[in-house]
Structure 1
Amino acid sequence: MKNRLYLVIYIIVAILAPHHTKAQDNNEFRQIYLQAEEEYQVGRLEQALDLLQSNINGFDGNLKQNAYRLIALCYMAQDNTSQSENYAKLLLHENPYYTSIQDPVRFEDLIRRLKTGRSATVTTASSQAESVNEAPVPVTIITSEMIEMLGYNKNLNQILAAYIPGVSEVASSNLDNIAIHGAYTSSQENILIMENGHRMNTRSTNLGRTDYAINTQKIDHIEVLRGPASSLYGNVALTAVVNIITKDGTSVNGLSAQYGYGSLHTHKADLLAGTHFMNCDVFAWASLYSSAGEDRYLSAELDQSLDIYRVAGPPSTYGGYAHINKYTEKPSYDIGVNIKLNDFNLMFSRKSGKKTQQYSVLAHAYDYDSYRWFDGQKPGYSIEENHADLNYSKTFGDFSLNASIYGDWYSISDYSVASDAMYYNEFNEDGSPKKDEQGNEIYTLWDGAYQIYDWKEMTIGASVRGDYNYTIGKMKGNFLAGIQFENFSLYDTYGLVGRNYDGVELFFAEKNNTIKTGHENNISFFMQGKHYFTSKLILNAGIRFDSKYRANGARINALSPRLAFIYTPSRELSMKLSYSRSFVDAPYFYRLNTDNTYKGSVDLKPEYLNAIQFNVMGDILPINLTYDVNLFYNRFSDIMYSVPDAGIEDAKYRNSGRLETIGAECSLHYNSKRIKANLTSSHTRLLHAKDYPFRDHHIYAVPDFINNIQLMYDVLAKTNHHLWLTANTKINSKFYVQIPGNDDNECSGNTVFDLGARYLLGKHMTIQLDCENVLDKTTYMSGATLIAMPWYNPGRTVLASIKYNL
């Protein structure tokens, strides 16, 4: 017994001794840093530099980043701009998301320039810190300041459409949706949405939300990879990756609260809290959004013109409402916390939101208020989600290790109105359609028909990756390799079909529901090499192998390679030529659904994209202008296509679609103390399509030309106060709408103006007024569903808000 006690004591001492020694070392170097800070404060710059630079290898974690910051400040005080910039870059390499607060104005401007220019540091493109110049694919960084330019009422969908060339908003019966380079699905399923590197897309549908369930005030910046990225991220990273980087406790350093009220009974509220003490950084956020939206009445004649689904003769009534930007009953919210302690990072967040469909699933106007309450809400597509992630990251000389375990839990409710009046099948007790003596299905006129599908899903996963910096002669490089495993389960499913607005006609329990329960496993291996032939010529190559064991026992494999050559002749110029292959697996929801509306084969294959891009980026420093020009060729294959005339026994979705596009896109960014401006412009041309909505060389729902302009001017720049005036303009060319049996489906282009003003009263209070669609123009949108015109964009709305910082 005594020997066991000695053994336990020995193990405890062995574990704690290194940490005790490290604590002693940290305390020693902390004292050195504090001494250097005192020398800097009294103007003894050489002494401060000597203390910091001679001990730089002993600093660790936050202490090291603080040392780089202080060295940069010392050189700036000596007017040694180049050295100050070099150490500021080391600071951003140590912490790419560092925010300058309570620093000299010159240093704040330097950090801002480094974070937004060509030398800005990103981590999403190669899963490691690197400048935008060296990223293997085109990258756009959207800063918090750029988000403020658009106004307080914008959601992530509108932010991406404004700043990412080639992106346009498209209609969806579910949540907000966008297309990139002409590619879109019934909901946003082609773009991987991440938050601090953690996936937000569901696994059952691949849907990644971009609506008000994402708090935009918590965002420090957004890194957007404009192109395929499956070589690193696997499934869903088909056309782009959007990585939301949140603020940290240091940048918030207190409490920030903002509330806005506006048109259509719109309420928006945000709360941020953050602090940093010792080696712990804590950041927490919460947001709420609700809006009654606009209920636009459609006359009986107009509603009848939308009729593309009614069968067996016209019903007795037409007419109803189109519901525009309606977020009611339970508000959308986003709450979470991010804690960094030494080498560990813990994240937890909970999001929820429901958007009411503008039209019914059968393309009819409908009376929203007449339908029953179900589980606390009325019709709409609702998602409640929880995310947890524990990450460990450590550098050992030239080797870095990153490991994480994570979990995602979703509760999804698809409460869809079919029609206020429609003909519907009669069913037997076993759920099969009733038939007459001649074998014809029997239809009955139903008023207030609706359907509800509910399911829950859970994913538990883990990943480990390591990268090594090497030197071969005069060349250097980095090699990265990793493995990822996920277990997905869909459970607790049920559904019902009802009529008369409130009655239940059929109920599907878990075992006989149209959405089958099950679980799937996915394992992935990935490698990446980044080799510097010279300081100006870089090769970045990567490959990923994904293997999924599907619920039906089948195994699906996908290989995703990437190859990029990067040439940086100067700090102000970068050129890239890249090839990538990416994929998005057919969603579980379509593979294991027996309902004829969504039914696909269990053998549905992944969709693929092969893309070639040539990108030129640069800075014109004398006029503070940054430019980005990109030429692309995309070839999509095995696209899931909804077969319109599929029978009840047939699979409605099949891998028969193809799409080939070419195009050009550019963006310009001007930044000075008083004026800030952004311009994005893109053109997409269809080369070939099969089983995809198109007409001639035009893709339905997507304008050929998309342009966005944002301007911000500080009226009081030379005083102690700031009054920012903002103007945003969206100019889209004509586009075409998919209306079966109707060739007259051209929509005129849209030009929409937004205006705003933001007044800063000292450091603590901000008053803001935003007006969207100032001219109250009636504009249209179309997209992923067979819904005829008009699918309305919102009219003029006004939102006033007040923000207070403690």
Structure 2
Amino acid sequence: MRQKVLIIIAILCFQMPLSGSAQDVGSARQIYDQAEKEYQIGRLEQATQLLKSNLKYFNGNLKQNAYRLLSLCYLAQDSIALAESYTSLLIQENPYYTSVQDPVRFEDMISRLKTGRSTTVTTASSQAEKISEAPVPVTIITSEMIEMLGYNKNLNQILAAYIPGVSEVASANLDNIAMHGAYTASQENILIMENGHRLNARSTNLGRTDYAINTQKIDHIEVLRGPASSLYGNVALTAVVNIITKDGTSVNGLTAQYGYGSLNTHKADFQAGTHFMNCDVFAWASLYSSDGEDRYLSPELDQSLDIYRIAGVPSSYGGYAHINKYAEKPSYDVGVNIKLNDFSLMFSSKSGKKTQQYSVLSHLYDYDTYRWFDGQKPGYCVDENHADLSYSKKLGNFSLNASVYGDWYDINDYSAASDFMEYEEFNDDGTPAKDEQGNPIKITYIGAYQIYDWKEMTIGASLRGDYNYTLGKMKGNLLAGMQYEYFSLYDTYGMVGVNFDDIMLFFSEKNNTIKTGRENNISFFVQDKHYFTPKLILNAGTRFDSKYRANGVRINAFSPRVAFIYTSSRALSMKLSYSRSFVDAPYFYRLNMDNTYKGSIDLKPEYLNAVQFNVMGDILLKNLTYDVNLFYNRFSDIIYSIPSAGLEDDKYRNSGKLETIGAECALHYNGKRLKANFTASHTRILSAKDYPVKGHHIYSVPDFISNVQLMYDVLGKNNQHLWLTSNVKFGSKFYIQSPDPTLEDTKYSDNTVIDLGARYQFGKHMSLQLDCENIFDKKTYISGATLIIMPWYNPGRTLLASIKYTL
């Protein structure tokens, strides 16, 4: 129903009359000439209004000129982000455009965008600024870079390909990534945002990176590589990912794409956008489903790797591991962004369910045999809705931003336990129970499963203001703000079943499941960006978060940051920064009474103190850019799952500390026909306490990771292109810890995977694409974010063919 409503809204937007619209080519030229005159005499608002209201009627060189003039108007008003957006549209319209007799700032913007580097980011300091002036290392992933990887990639794969220091790790729940080797059972340490709106759930801190996020709606992604709690507070522990969507002006029509491939995979995307008068509307919808790969493991392999056999608990042997299975309930992402004058309204609805590769007890299991529940079979399903209304106003040197927002989640964790398992029964005193003949009494479970379902809601508001000041020959910007959130987990239940279908136990929040409750959080933050000289900058700030937990305890956290930045020219920028960040212990662990997920009610937040030294700029050729970063991380109070915990013990605890150092680099080349990216990172352990490490290695994570992407246009014509693409990812050996100290750890190596693709574009309306992942069909392994000895598998060779049409 929501999809139909959004499509109707988009169609109505295209039918609305345009004030003062051009009726033919002649009148379009007259309107452009009038806008040019308004710009020349300094009537910038009148010029932009004339152009934006009639963009739909400009074509060819006239459209390029309109984009150029809009960019110049916004540049004259120091609205850098808007100027850059129209410059990007100009380059998109004509990739070979050369600026002549334009302001130096505009020529510099053209040059930077052609090399694939956005001149500004908004995520690092909550305001538009050059990447070279951002207080932490920043990576920009453009829509073109996303297309380079192929139509079938999700956000998790995109981040792992382009962000140095990021590696994919397996999770029993959803797709997961690690930054600088630090990971949790699910993606709980990296803040995921969409246009500045948080997407991480509050009960689990889990931020989705799977197919529930439409990647075709993305204009670009801003990634802060390092702590960012000084601005964003909770969850921004190791990185921040801010997805910036397209707008109605850039889409200016309808775009549809559909793909079908191996394993009965379906992927579809739809976008609609327009701009009329002072209103910009962008709507999107996406759908993804796949039967996934069911990989057979022989009884011998299953027995040799079964953790519970080692622990004395036998289970069934032989069967299937379920890889990349998104079945029964397709993943979708539907939403709309509306901008009217100083107001912005966003609404989105997302859903995704991924089948666990193994059961919750790390066993192979027969997926098809288990019962249907709420329209699905085993898997971790999250339905989420987001709404945000914001207001922005610039008054001279002062800018104000206010927003109110809400997030609603319905989370269902349906886990198969085991097709067959056998336990010894114990007496109340802990001694083994025996029958009359003195034989141990054993309990057998067939087709055991468990289901947990809970709903949560968050309502919040934020207010932020910043002021541009001048002190003698120095200048700066002072930013301050506050944020309030009310969280409620208001409904929960669970059940345990056997025989694949029978319900054995049903329980509410009062017995053996997560408790309902409410929590409040209020935050204050301040930041000063001070220019001692145009080349020497100090960016310092701090944030204070105070959370009133559901058990009546108040948790406070300070998150300071200071960065010294030196930027001598476009060819060189250096920054040295210190940051402290935190992530509060998830509600799901603190107030869970089930032994599978139980943690202490007094779990402390996790903290990270980090020092980074970053150098970036151009090298040799102006189309070649580099980014080198050295980092030191000290984690404390890390929450970790204890495999040996007894039934009455807390399974999740604050485990101690972890100190790491490392280096990461990125190279990016953007030529007319050849585009290339290279990233590499290395992490080394200095010390660790109560954390899964082996010497200088973190268990389950490669020390060295690298990625290479190439894209070449074979034809290189204005309206006809044949792009050939390749993606190579490599991870060094990694270890999986054995649960039995008498056995050796398992080592996995040779995990190089090669993807190839081709995209043929003819005209401006139609393109065809073919993507092949793991072209050599290698059996490779992915590091696991949970302590099991079973290997997590990457998918084998898959193909996806797609067609795209733009109107």
TM-score normalised by L of structure 1: 0.89
Structure 1 match to 2:763? 762
Describe the SS at the equivalent of 1:209: coil
Shift of 1:598: 1.1
Structure 1 match to 2:781? 780
Give the conservation status (yes or no) of the 8 Å contact 2:233–2:543.
yes
Q: Is 1:596–2:583 an aligned residue pair?
A: no
Query: What's the CA shift string for 1:673-705, capped at 9, x where partnerless?
Result: 100000001111111111211111011111111
Change (3 A) 1:313 1:106: closer
Q: How far apart, CA to CA, are the structure 2 residues paired with 1:667 and 1:512?
A: 51
Q: CA RMSD in A?
A: 3.0
Change (3 A) 1:454 1:84: closer
Q: Is 1:802–2:803 an aligned residue pair?
A: yes
Structure 2 match to 1:54? 41
Structure 2 match to 1:209? 208
Shift of 1:645: 2.6
Structure 2 match to 1:130? 129
Structure 2 match to 1:429? none
Give the conservation status (yes or no) of the 8 Å contact 1:681–1:706.
yes
Query: What's the CA shift string for 1:651-681, capped at 9, x where partnerless?
Result: 2222123111100000000001100000001
Structure 2 match to 1:463? 462
Change (3 A) 1:272 1:57: closer
Residue 223 of structure 1 aligns with an amino acid whose one-letter code is: E
Change (3 A) 1:252 1:434: farther
Structure 1 match to 2:4? none
Structure 1 match to 2:195? 196
Query: What's the CA shift string for 1:312-363, capped at 9, x where partnerless?
Result: 8554732221000000001000000000000000000000010000011111
Q: How far apart, CA to CA, are the structure 2 residues paired with 1:719 and 1:470?
A: 46
Structure 2 match to 1:691? 690
Q: How far apart, CA to CA, are the structure 2 residues paired with 1:112 and 1:377?
A: 50
Structure 2 match to 1:720? 719
Describe the SS at the equivalent of 2:303: helix
Shift of 1:439: 8.0
Structure 1 match to 2:551? 552
Shift of 1:622: 3.3
Q: Which residues in structure 2 correspond to 1:469-480 (within 5 Å)? A: 469-480=468-479
Structure 1 match to 2:263? 264
Q: Which residues in structure 2 correspond to 1:164-563 (within 5 Å)? A: 164-310=163-309, 315=314, 317-423=316-422, 435=428, 444-563=443-562
Q: Is 1:675–2:663 an aligned residue pair?
A: no
Q: How far apart, CA to CA, are the structure 1 residues paired with 2:53 and 2:658?
A: 51
Percent of residue pairs bearing the same amino acid type = 74
Q: How far apart, CA to CA, are the structure 1 residues paired with 2:36 and 2:275?
A: 25
Change (3 A) 1:350 1:230: same
Structure 1 match to 2:437? none
Give the conservation status (yes or no) of the 8 Å contact 2:135–2:575.
yes
Q: Is 1:93–2:81 an aligned residue pair?
A: yes
Change (3 A) 1:112 1:271: farther
Give the conservation status (yes or no) of the 8 Å contact 1:714–1:724.
yes
Structure 2 match to 1:753? 754
Change (3 A) 1:88 1:378: farther
Q: How far apart, CA to CA, are the structure 2 residues paired with 1:616 and 1:36?
A: 50
Residue 93 of structure 1 aligns with an amino acid whose one-letter code is: A
Structure 2 match to 1:620? 619
Describe the SS at the equivalent of 2:785: coil
Give the conservation status (yes or no) of the 8 Å contact 1:230–1:236.
yes
Residue 100 of structure 1 aligns with an amino acid whose one-letter code is: L
Q: How far apart, CA to CA, are the structure 2 residues paired with 1:577 and 1:616?
A: 9
Structure 2 match to 1:629? 628
Q: How far apart, CA to CA, are the structure 2 residues paired with 1:497 and 1:515?
A: 14
Change (3 A) 1:634 1:37: farther
Structure 2 match to 1:9? none
Q: How far apart, CA to CA, are the structure 2 residues paired with 1:641 and 1:500?
A: 32
Q: Which residues in structure 2 correspond to 1:655-666 (within 5 Å)? A: 655-666=654-665
Give the conservation status (yes or no) of the 8 Å contact 2:583–2:606.
yes
Query: What's the CA shift string for 1:89-148, capped at 9, x where partnerless?
Result: 946434554441585555599766444655611100000000101100000000000000
Give the conservation status (yes or no) of the 8 Å contact 1:156–1:216.
yes
Give the conservation status (yes or no) of the 8 Å contact 1:65–1:91.
no
Q: How far apart, CA to CA, are the structure 2 residues paired with 1:566 and 1:336?
A: 38
Change (3 A) 1:122 1:719: closer
Q: How far apart, CA to CA, are the structure 1 residues paired with 2:667 and 2:530?
A: 30
Q: Is 1:743–2:730 an aligned residue pair?
A: no
Describe the SS at the equivalent of 1:649: coil
Residue 756 of structure 2 aligns with an amino acid whose one-letter code is: L
Residue 794 of structure 2 aligns with an amino acid whose one-letter code is: N
Shift of 1:84: 6.9
Q: Is 1:731–2:719 an aligned residue pair?
A: no
Give the conservation status (yes or no) of the 8 Å contact 1:118–1:619.
no
Structure 1 match to 2:702? 703
Residue 55 of structure 1 aligns with an amino acid whose one-letter code is: G
Query: What's the CA shift string for 1:691-736, capped at 9, x where partnerless?
Result: 2111110111111111100000000004631000001111211111
Structure 2 match to 1:18? none
Query: What's the CA shift string for 1:185-218, capped at 9, x where partnerless?
Result: 0000000000000000000000001000000000
Query: What's the CA shift string for 1:398-419, capped at 9, x where partnerless?
Result: 0000000000000000111111
Residue 649 of structure 1 aligns with an amino acid whose one-letter code is: E
Give the conservation status (yes or no) of the 8 Å contact 1:782–1:789.
no
Runs (5+) with no aligned partner, structure 2: 1-18, 100-106, 435-440
Give the conservation status (yes or no) of the 8 Å contact 1:311–1:423.
no
Q: How far apart, CA to CA, are the structure 1 residues paired with 2:766 and 2:51?
A: 33
Q: How far apart, CA to CA, are the structure 2 residues paired with 1:655 and 1:153?
A: 38
Give the conservation status (yes or no) of the 8 Å contact 1:40–1:48.
yes
Change (3 A) 1:113 1:455: farther
Query: What's the CA shift string for 1:734-776, capped at 9, x where partnerless?
Result: 1111221232411113111110000001011010000000000
Give the conservation status (yes or no) of the 8 Å contact 2:538–2:562.
yes
Q: How far apart, CA to CA, are the structure 2 residues paired with 1:92 and 1:67?
A: 22
TM-score normalised by L of structure 2: 0.89
Structure 2 match to 1:163? 162
Task: Say which is worse superposed, 632-641 or 298-307, in terms of deviation.
Answer: 298-307
Shift of 1:788: 1.4
Q: How far apart, CA to CA, are the structure 2 residues paired with 1:711 and 1:88?
A: 37
Change (3 A) 1:63 1:405: farther
Change (3 A) 1:277 1:316: closer
Change (3 A) 1:315 1:734: closer
Shift of 1:60: 9.3
Task: Say which is worse superposed, 774-783 or 434-443, in terms of deviation.
Answer: 434-443
Report how many residues are paired.
762
Task: Say which is worse superposed, 347-356 or 55-64, in terms of deviation.
Answer: 55-64
Give the conservation status (yes or no) of the 8 Å contact 1:363–1:786.
no
Task: Say which is worse superposed, 686-695 or 542-551, in terms of deviation.
Answer: 686-695
Q: How far apart, CA to CA, are the structure 2 residues paired with 1:793 and 1:462?
A: 41
Shift of 1:36: 13
Describe the SS at the equivalent of 1:122: coil
Q: How far apart, CA to CA, are the structure 1 residues paired with 2:306 and 2:170?
A: 18
Give the conservation status (yes or no) of the 8 Å contact 1:89–1:114.
no
Give the conservation status (yes or no) of the 8 Å contact 1:412–1:455.
yes
Residue 806 of structure 2 aligns with an amino acid whose one-letter code is: N
Change (3 A) 1:137 1:312: closer
Task: Say which is worse superposed, 620-629 or 403-412, in terms of deviation.
Answer: 620-629
Residue 761 of structure 2 aligns with an amino acid whose one-letter code is: L
Residue 760 of structure 1 aligns with an amino acid whose one-letter code is: Q
Give the conservation status (yes or no) of the 8 Å contact 2:214–2:333.
yes
Q: How far apart, CA to CA, are the structure 2 residues paired with 1:497 and 1:511?
A: 16
Residue 89 of structure 2 aligns with an amino acid whose one-letter code is: S
Query: What's the CA shift string for 1:562-609, capped at 9, x where partnerless?
Result: 000000011222100000000000000000011111111111110000
Structure 2 match to 1:653? 652
Q: How far apart, CA to CA, are the structure 2 residues paired with 1:523 and 1:497?
A: 38
Q: How far apart, CA to CA, are the structure 2 residues paired with 1:752 and 1:182?
A: 20
Structure 2 match to 1:17? none
Change (3 A) 1:242 1:437: closer
Q: How far apart, CA to CA, are the structure 2 residues paired with 1:58 and 1:379?
A: 56
